Structure 1
Amino acid sequence: MRIDHETSGVRTVHILMIECNPNGIAGIANALELGHDVTLVSVDPDFYLGVSPLAEAAYAHPKCQVIKSEQAFSIEDLTALARNLHAEKPVHGVTTYSEYHTVHTAAVAEALGLPGMSVEGARNARHKHLTRTTLDGTGVRQPRFAHVADPAEVEAAVREIGFPCVVKPSDGTASLHVLHLKDEQDLRDYLAELADVVDYGRGVVRIPDILIEEFVTGELISVESCVLGNGEVVNLGLTDRPLSGFPHFIEMGATYFSGHPLQDELFATTTRVLNELGVDFGFIHTEYLLSADGPVLCEVNGRLIGGIVPSLMQITSGVDPYLEVIRQALGERPELPFPGETTAGGHWFGAPVAGTVDAIGFDAIEELPGFHSALAYKKPGTPVTRLSRSNFDWIGHIIFTGADRAEVNKRCEAALDGIDLRMKVDVAR
């Protein structure tokens, strides 16, 4: 079914966006440009004004309604709000680009009788301990793991798995509070830090569940997929994801491509994983570690991949995945962004020390071969932390194209030295 919009002379559709992410504001902007009505529900709408250059214009658009709701993370309250919105102006599609809100989106879509992922499938992907326990015994290669719901049980679970290990909140994202533990001191420090974490900001309350997993070495790579409305899994392409050093796991780059030697195995495993979990709708991001024994499932994210990767997908395919997420939520069959002949990739960068941004310039890299674009996330005068703990420490990115991922990664790495980052630093600290 294709739902026409106002610009084609028929009618406007109404999209309910449940939270978003900084780059996903582009999807809202694109929907508004097509003539759609968009309602964004957020605990903190001002957050997006500070992280997206598109947010101010989107909010000011006559077809954009922004609703601030302190209860946006309560599924019961959110569903009631959605029903009221639907009664005032019928909602034709419900979606999100936010990892934190995939279950919420599935529940609201179900309540309104609109296309969406099953709530069970969304929950199995969203909560990492449910991913592990649901797939345990199915033959899917996973790390040895222990799941605890009481922080007091973490020490015993770590000793069961053994050092070195990886510990992570079951409902985290962006590598936040994911840590490599090498010894007892690391464990004590981690437990002390986690005890103070009750939420992830913007109203997102942390559940107590924690996973402890054996440390698996190997390249991190992800499969980008789309599950069509009939449950058919279409695997699109791969994203490489180089990481920073220990103890934190910060993603420092990404290249969207096809043709990896393990691609067939990765695609087949992803199809099996999504079917086993009941993930039956939408764009999906599934991560693996390429161990010596083969791909090991890292995690499943029941939404479009974040960061700069949707832009990379559009560069190589000509298809805007942000807009296809919305089209699928409206009941349409999405166009699929398969990697094309040109490969696109990018690198993030951060500050080497904490301080205040004075200026970020890209003049020296704009004439380099393959340069596509660059973006600073922080305005002059903005305080920033040292790039050290999670993806939230990024302060900008660069994007290059090339014939293959080796050429793209080489171009990105060479360009990092040309970024003109100027900061004011308190030397007394």
Structure 2
Amino acid sequence: MKKLLLFVESNTTGTGMIALKKAQERGFSPVFLTSKPERYAGLAETGCRVLVCDTNSLDALRTTIKKELPADQIAGIMTTSEFYLVTVATLAEEYGLPGNPPEAMLVCRNKAQTRLRLAKANVAQPRFAIIRKAKEIPETVKAIGLPCVVKPTDDSGSNDVKLCSGFLLSGKEGTLQKVEGVEEVRSMPGIRNVTISARAGDRVYIPQNAYHRLGYVIASGGTYAQTEYRLKEAVDNIVFTVKEQVEASWR
């Protein structure tokens, strides 16, 4: 009897189905555990056994595996989906199979924890900050600087990864009289934050260094092009009056 190689869910790019076929080519009998078989194009064509259960529940997976599969025939448990790395590591450890330590996978799956571990080990990396509340954004931007990249700690596939930039600059030197358009820009789609650091009466300059910035805009979008468009539109609609009307430029 062929040894069983268990797969818990898969990515949806097609390589997960290739992995099932490669397992067969190497003499294993792949078993695919999923909550929605219809999610995967080409799954039926692989000919592998499919077990349907709640893959987001570790207990449900344990129960299904125990009920349906002989433990002594399981050669390995794996996944091609980043979301299930911790689950697979836990199951592999429980069955005494090769795999990564669950604790290590927890750290690797959480980008914030990964950064903290790298910092503790003195591994060189870009500046970073962990934001838990929206009100922390202004101070964080001051500390980290722009442009920067913002991403959720535990997602994958570049979901909700945002490029943040958009410095507000003066086109001439003088005394700032007023700033217009800020509230309108804040209501635009994809605008996450608008911070104006300059105040009426401040002396402003044609930018020579970071201290000459008048503020910044943080925008997001489904694509880089959309984010860039929203950012430019936002900056173009914030007007600084320095002796005479001067529109903000962006970099």
Give the structure 2 partner of residue 55 of structure 1: 43
Secondary structure of the residue aligned to 1:176 is coil
User: Over residues 105-157 of structure 1, what are the superposed CA-to-partner deviations in whole Å (9 max), with x where a residue is unaligned?
Assistant: 10110111111100011111111111101111422111111113445544543
Matches of 1:83 and 1:152 in 2, distance apart? 48
Amino acid at match of 1:129: A
User: Structure 1 residues 156 and 76 mapped into 2: Cα distance closer, same or farther (>3 Å)?
Assistant: farther
Amino acid at match of 1:18: V
User: Structure 1 residues 95 and 190 mapped into 2: Cα distance closer, same or farther (>3 Å)?
Assistant: farther
Is 1:66–2:50 an aligned residue pair? yes
User: Structure 1 residues 247 and 180 mapped into 2: Cα distance closer, same or farther (>3 Å)?
Assistant: farther
Is 1:24–2:24 an aligned residue pair? no
Q: Does the 8 A contact of 2:147 with 2:165 survive in 1?
A: yes
Give the structure 1 partner of residue 149 of structure 2: 166
Amino acid at match of 2:39: F
User: Over residues 377-402 of structure 1, what are the superposed CA-to-partner deviations in whole Å (9 max), with x where a residue is unaligned?
Assistant: xxxxxxxxxx979xxxxxxxxxxxxx
How big is the shift at 1:32?
Answer: 2.5
Is 1:125–2:108 an aligned residue pair? yes
| Same amino acid, percent of matched pairs | 28
How big is the shift at 1:23?
Answer: 1.2
Secondary structure of the residue aligned to 2:130 is strand
User: Structure 1 residues 248 and 80 mapped into 2: Cα distance closer, same or farther (>3 Å)?
Assistant: same
Amino acid at match of 1:103: V
How big is the shift at 1:94?
Answer: 0.4
Q: Does the 8 A contact of 1:13 with 1:36 survive in 2?
A: yes
Give the structure 1 partner of residue 215 of structure 2: none
Q: Which runs of 5+ in 2 are unaligned?
A: 168-184, 194-219, 228-251
User: Over residues 16-35 of structure 1, what are the superposed CA-to-partner deviations in whole Å (9 max), with x where a residue is unaligned?
Assistant: 10111221211101223444
For these two proteins, the number of residue pairs brought into alignment is: 181
Alignment RMSD, CA only? Answer: 3.2
Give the structure 1 partner of residue 66 of structure 2: 83
Q: Does the 8 A contact of 1:175 with 1:249 survive in 2?
A: no
Richer in helix (by share) = 2
User: Over residues 147-189 of structure 1, what are the superposed CA-to-partner deviations in whole Å (9 max), with x where a residue is unaligned?
Assistant: 1344554454344323221100111222111111114969983
Q: Does the 8 A contact of 1:180 with 1:248 survive in 2?
A: no
Matches of 1:78 and 1:118 in 2, distance apart? 18
Give the structure 2 partner of residue 146 of structure 1: 129
Q: Does the 8 A contact of 2:35 with 2:55 survive in 1?
A: yes
Amino acid at match of 2:45: A
1:73-222 maps to which residues of 2 (within 5 A)? 73-87=56-70, 90-150=73-133, 153-183=136-166, 189=190, 191=192
User: Structure 1 residues 160 and 43 mapped into 2: Cα distance closer, same or farther (>3 Å)?
Assistant: farther
Q: Which has the larger radius of gyration?
A: 2
How big is the shift at 1:81?
Answer: 3.0
User: Over residues 45-96 of structure 1, what are the superposed CA-to-partner deviations in whole Å (9 max), with x where a residue is unaligned?
Assistant: 21112xxxx43311xx2xx211222x21233433343333444774221011
User: Over residues 206-237 of structure 1, what are the superposed CA-to-partner deviations in whole Å (9 max), with x where a residue is unaligned?
Assistant: xxxxxxxxxxxxxxxxxxxxxxxxxxxxxxxx
Q: Which runs of 5+ in 1 are unaligned?
A: 1-10, 193-245, 251-386, 390-429
